[in-house]
Copies of this chain bind each other. A is one copy, B any other.
Amino acid sequence: MTADAGGQPGAGAGRRGGEGGRRGGGRRDADQRPAGRRGTGRPAGDSGTREAIGEAARAQFADFGYHGATIRGIAAVAGVDPALVHHYYGTKEALFAAAMRLPIVPSEVLTAALSGGAPGEPGFGAHLVRTALTLWESDELKETFLGLLRSAVTSEQAAVMLREFISDSILGTLARVAGLERQGSHAEAEYRAAMVATQMLGLALTRLVLGLPVVAGASVDELAATVGPSVDRYLCGDLDLPGGVSGAPPG
């Protein structure tokens, strides 16, 4: 899904705080391990290059969307070799996360959090809800997450960027980790993952942005218990799927 960045998961850097053991994970390749984003104890030259790449990435993602921006294009704007972009940031997704000032790489967190279970197992949906809410509400992520949501709601350009990122990275990862393509066609996996997004982003909107009293007042565990089964149903329940989705042969 992030083919032009080499598709190495686990190459993101600088995850911090929050849920502890559940975070992070994903395999790491020592040769590809990026230089980190904390910016401490690094020579000024390196740090300057990293920042120039980050700046270029922010501009290119905004101008061309998540699909359209390329590691090659970002490297050209930053005036560096594309290999340096990979060196500092790893994957395209990790670069996007860094450019958006996300302290984590979403697909890695999702992969790590969900690798212990499987859809259809009791509590999988609840675990997904709990993981997402805990992450969104963490001190490190909350403002950035709300900022992304705000910019997407107010700027068409930002909406395109976030839409493509969610579609490619988050929903693609969810479909993969949840094994959706083993159950059905690619189109069905996409549709199921998107339905999960309608529920999860609605939870974010009503709890974190609007602050509807009942939703904001419930605990993460309470919401996970109530909403989890809806997520389970979207992931592997017996859905009334659109014709174009259900008709396709299994993946």
Contacts and interface: CB of A to CB of B under 8 A. Distances in A.
A52 interface: no
A162 interface: yes
A1 interface: no
A118 to B, nearest CB: 21
A200 B202 contact: yes
**Considering residues A159, A167, A214, A240, which has the most beta carbons from chain B within 10 angstroms of its beta carbon?**
A214
A112 interface: no
Contacts of A214: 167, 190-191, 194
B153 A199 contact: no
Given A205-B201, A242-B218, A226 B195 contact: yes
13 contacts: A153-B153, A154-B154, A159-B210, A159-B211, A190-B214, A191-B218, A195-B227, A198-B202, A198-B227, A199-B202, A201-B206, A205-B205, A226-B234
Interface string A208-219: 011111110011
Interface majority SS on A: helix, strand, loop or mixed? helix
7 smallest CB-CB distances across A and B, nearest first, come from: A202-B202, A194-B214, A225-B240, A222-B242, A153-B153, A198-B202, A230-B230
A194 B215 contact: yes
Interface string A153-180: 1100001001100110001000000000
Interface of A: 149-150, 152-154, 159, 162-163, 166-167, 171, 190-191, 194-195, 197-203, 205-207, 209-215, 218-219, 222, 225-227, 229-230, 233-234, 239-242
A247 B163 CA distance: 41
A200 B230 CA distance: 13
A201 to B, nearest CB: 5
B242 A211 contact: no
Contacts of A154: 150, 153-154
B206 A194 contact: yes
A96 to B, nearest CB: 16
Contacts of A219: 242
A218 to B, nearest CB: 6
A99 B157 CA distance: 30
